Structures are given as structure tokens and as C-alpha cells.
Structure 1
Amino acid sequence: MPKLSKEDNKILKDLLEDIKIDMISQQNALGIRASGASADSLTVTDSGKGPNLTGKHYWAFLFDDTGRGPGGFPPPQLIEDWIFDKGIEIRTTLANTVFNISKSIAETGTGIHKGKPGVKIQEIITEHLIGASGRIARRKV
């Protein structure tokens, strides 16, 4: 892949920053933000091939069309953190609550997987790509 011009690099970096902002905004609007760790993990960086938007692996579970499907228990520490971040009432013991939530996820997946709304990443990206392509086309004319 050829190296990007400074102007193209800036357009792409701005595009990724806008996508990042919209992903976080949609996450907040849907009420699927607990500790903020997933939002805080999103970063736009420059590599030799151009800008990149990266984040923690659990962003994949927040997307509208996926969520986390059944199969395998999630890491207990993540569930424990989520319980405290969400302020969930513990009626028995913490260990029992973590186990019950983990078992439910292992058996049926997360709410997003079962149809609750998630971050519409495809729509966000498409919307911003259309805007960026117009800026690039105007610059090339």
C-alpha cells in the first residue's frame, strides 16, 4: 500500500476520531456503558501505513449485530467489575452472583446477542465514509 499524503492522512485520522466519538455517544445513549473502560480503550494512532482506530476486544460484544453468543464462561473478574460498575445489588455472595451471571451468559449470550440494541458500528462507519469521500473528491478536483 502506498504511503498516504499528509492531507489524506489527516482526513483519515479525523474520520477515525469522528467514528470514535460517535461509537462512544451511541454506547452512552443506549445505556450499555458500565465503567467506561471500553470507551476509554478507543484510541486513534498513526502507523507507517496510516491511522488506526483500536480498542479493547470487548467492543466486539457491543455491536448491534453480534453481542456475545453462548458458549464458555466469561472471565470472572470482568463480571465482578461489571457488577460493581453497574451497581447491581448482591443478594447472596459476590462469588455466587458472579457465577450466576457468568452461567447465564455461557448458556444464552449477552443481551445484545439476544436482541437488545447495540452500537450500530456499520451505520456509523458508512455515514462517516460518505462524508470523507466527498472531502477527498473535492480535494482531488
Structure 2
Amino acid sequence: MGARDEQPVVPALWIRNDSQILPLWWDRLCAQMGQQSASRYSNGLFSQDRRRPIAQWHNPALDAALLVAIETSPEWPVQRFGIFYAPPGVGFTKVTMNHHQWFTRTPHKSPTEEEAFAASIASAEAFLQVEMDFI
């Protein structure tokens, strides 16, 4: 055995990219539920790329991604961030963790939108840590 065989396996790299929702999400959603249903899923989140803020991680080596985004309709009094996962290769799922939400009628009362977003990012990062143990 050479020194190369003894090196630890380096986990694949997750890159944060919050500029726009990756096309991977739309492709996976359409493959799973069809284009018409996909366009209505989470108030059009993946077809219109208009709701902010978002946090997104992409792993090109695994063809996987993780997204934090608002999943509720803008007119609802309770707004909520969802965490969505596209596992390596194929598929799409919503990760159910804590409810990261805020109330539009009391925008300055805790939890605020900023607090909910920060908490959802922390949950997403914890999910990635656990997920990397299984990949």
C-alpha cells in the first residue's frame, strides 16, 4: 500500500450560492410531479424564483443541493421558511425540522423574519453535516 491509499477520503464540497434558485430544483420537481403541479408547488417557488431571502448549497460532484426559502403564500399571516433537499443524482424532498416562521401582523416581535431565516440556515447546515456522514 502506498501513501496515496492511506489518505482519508475528503468529503465532497458544498458551495453556497444564494444568487438564484438552481435549475436543478425545477428539473427534479418536474420529474417527480409533472410541470403543471411543479409550477404551483410552494406558491411557485421553483418556477418563478422571486421570493427572498434564500440560502442555497450545491454540490456539483454529487449532483445534490439544499435550499432554504419562503414556502408560504405572501398573503398568509404566518410566513415560513422551508428546507428542501435534492439528494445525489435524482429526487427531491422537503426536510422536516423545526418550524422556522414569523407572523406578518407582528413583524418586530420575536421570532422576526430575520430570526426565522437565521434559524432555518442553522438547521440546514446541521442537516448537511448529518447528511455528509451518510454519503
Query: Which range, TM-score by smaller chain?
Result: under 0.3
Q: Which structure's residues are more often strand, by fraction?
A: 2
RCO (CA 8 Å, sep 6+): is it higher in 1 or 2? 1
Look at both structures and tell me which one has the larger radius of gyration over its CA atoms. Answer: 1
**TM-score, normalization: structure 2?**
0.26
**TM-score, normalization: structure 1?**
0.26
